[in-house]
Amino acid sequence: MEDTEESTQYTTDPKDLLHMREAINQANLSIAIPTAYCVGAVLTSKDGAVLSTGFSRELPGNTHAEECALTKVSGDPTAARGGTMYTTMEPCSLRLSGNRPCVERILEAGIARVVMGVREPPNFVQCNGVDLLREKGVKVCVVPGVEEDCLKPNRHVL
């Protein structure tokens, strides 16, 4: 389902833009492969402190950016509770690899807010991550004006 102007929630908070810029930097660290996107993520605590970062395929096992960021704080499963996940692309709701989708991981971690750059393009799967997160009470916002920078590391598949 495509967001309409009325349903899209935007954020212009300077802190959100700052963390999104770091997520974009993380996405640019991803090694491009023909069957996946290059995504970056920044995970903050409920107080706004950066807990971890991640990028696509950073860790072994065909890992996604959000998955990497969450894995890095797995020693304290409550660290992300109430926090914010910044991600350059909509968290996945389905993975062709059979791995757990990032939406499930975000919900399990108790993340209260997801701030993203762009919706996932339909090249590989039909993603409905935003809808699933909102249905479970997670606030989802888009940072306006970063779409081109979020998609740039993905020109190999777009």
Global pTM reads 0.94
Catalytic residue (one of 58, 66, 67, 90): 66
Whether residue 9 is contained in a domain is answered as no
Whether residue 5 is contained in a domain is answered as no
Instruction: Name the token pair of 147.
Output: 């779409």
Whether residue 71 is contained in a domain is answered as yes
Residue 4 main-chain phi, psi, to 5 deg: -100, 165
Tally of domains within the chain: 1
Mean pLDDT, residues 35-63 taken together = 96
Whether residue 124 is contained in a domain is answered as yes
pLDDT score recorded for residue 96: 76
pLDDT tens per residue across span 133-150: 999 999 999 999 999 999
Say whether pLDDT at 3 is over 70.
Answer: no
What does the H/E/C string look like for 68-126? HHHHHCCCCCCCCCCCEEEEEECCCCCCCCCCCCHHHHHHHHCCCEEEEEECCCCCCCC
**In which domain, by residue range, is 50 found?**
28-154
CA distance 40 to 14: 18
Whether residue 75 is contained in a domain is answered as yes
pLDDT tens per residue across span 93-144: 988 777 899 999 999 999 999 999 999 888 887 889 999 999 999 999 999 9
The answer to whether residue 148 is catalytic is: no
CA distance 125 to 63: 16
Whether residue 106 is contained in a domain is answered as yes
CATH of the domain at 45: 3.40.140.10
Who wins on pLDDT, 92 or 125? Answer: 92
Please state which of the ranges 36-45, 74-83, 105-114, 129-138 shows the lowest mean pLDDT. Answer: 74-83
